[in-house]
Amino acid sequence: MKIMNKNKSLKKIVKNKLKFLISLSAIFFQSSLIFAQTAAPQDQGINTDTYNTVLLIFLLILINLVFIPLLISEKEETEVAEEKETSFQILKQKFYGLKPIEEEKSLLIDEDYDGIQELDNNVPPWFNVLFLATIIFAIVYLLDYHVFKTGKLPLQEYNDEVYAAELQREELIRTGAFINENNVTFSNAPDVLSEGKQIYTVNCVPCHGGNGEGIVGPNLTDEYWIHGGGVKNIFKTVKYGVPVKGMISWQTQLNPKKMQAVVSYVMSLQGTNPPGGKAPEGNLYKEQDSTGVKSDSLKTDNLKTDSSKTEQVKSDSLNKSNGKVVKTDKSDTSSMKK
């Protein structure tokens, strides 16, 4: 087989050389024609050295790109496939720790089971590599997490995450992220009212006036509200806005803490009655506090005491009337005896 392959390769080389010689002769023939055609420009005073140089460069390029590869002996496709196959088989055998079929007889175990023989193959290299890798990983893990303690154990990671979450929660509380229209409260702290006044002056004066008297927007100093009064309703109005009436939503520009501050400042303007105030708009709103509940309970207690007093008066009158009846009965009996 090898001798036949060599003969084939030699024949192919000879063919390539013949092709090269034929093509080279054709090029020289064409070049002579080109020289003949360039004879006319020579009479016109054009330098022929330039034509010769260009032609030589052209010939060299053709030889390098086209004809020189023909002289290279190419391997047969079957030879290339066989080489690839053998190299692949060699790698496969080394990876799995296998031996060629010719050497399998030396690996046979003397004992057989019902005519079945086994090979005494070694442990595959990939398994040994994997086993050694697990041992190395265990040593590195032990040194990293338990000896030098450069890595964090699960409990430590949990504690760190809890601590980070607490810091984040404190930051959210500080910025007022948990404040909404359901749990907002009025604050009369001086720093809160001062911050609210500053926010109001920058953003709300063009519509509601410098003192809340109302310009385009309604008057904020009276007890009449279009969208409900009280800290929760005002906060909701500031947060979501009233696009129909031209009031924008401030939740994208102010955080909940700042909205609470400006709402507290607006509520502090109640009853100031600045000059030039706009006429009341909306409905009258009054906060429902616990004092009203207490007064109602007092009224019910008074009613209970009054009812008890009336019951006592009724019982006393009945007793008096019964006394009179007894007296009349006694007089009647005495008269009867007489």
Pair (215, 240) in one structural domain = yes
Domain end residue (candidates: 74, 98, 124): 74
Residue 43 lies in a domain: yes
Give the residues of the chain that fall short of pLDDT 50. Answer: 1-2, 38-46, 290-301, 303-305, 310, 313-314, 317-318, 320-338
- For the whole model, what pTM was predicted? 0.43
User: What pLDDT is stored for residue 82 in this prediction?
Assistant: 57
Kindly report, residue by residue over 78-125, the tens digit of the pLDDT: 555 555 557 777 777 777 777 777 777 788 888 878 888 888 877 888
Structural domain including 206 reads 190-284
pLDDT at 153: 92
Q: What is the pLDDT of residues 239-274, one digit of tens each?
A: 999 999 889 999 999 999 999 999 999 999 999 999
87 and 51 in one domain? no
pLDDT for res 164: 95
Give residue 193's pLDDT.
Answer: 95
Q: Flag whether 332 is in a domain.
A: no
The H-assigned helical ranges of the chain are: 2-37, 39-43, 48-62, 68-71, 77-96, 125-142, 154-175, 190-203, 205-208, 230-240, 256-268, 290-337
pLDDT at 148: 93
How many domains would you assign to the chain? 3
Within this chain, do residues 202 and 240 fall inside the same structural domain, yes or no?
yes
Crossing angle of helices 125-142 and 77-96, rounded to 10°: 50
Contact 94, 79 (CB under 8 A): no
| pLDDT (0 to 100) of residue 145 | 92
Residue 23's pLDDT is what? 63
Question: Same domain for 276 and 194?
Answer: yes
- The answer to whether position 329 is within a domain reads no
Q: How many helices (H) and strands (E) does the chain have?
A: 12, 4
Q: Is residue 95 one of the residues assigned to a domain? A: yes
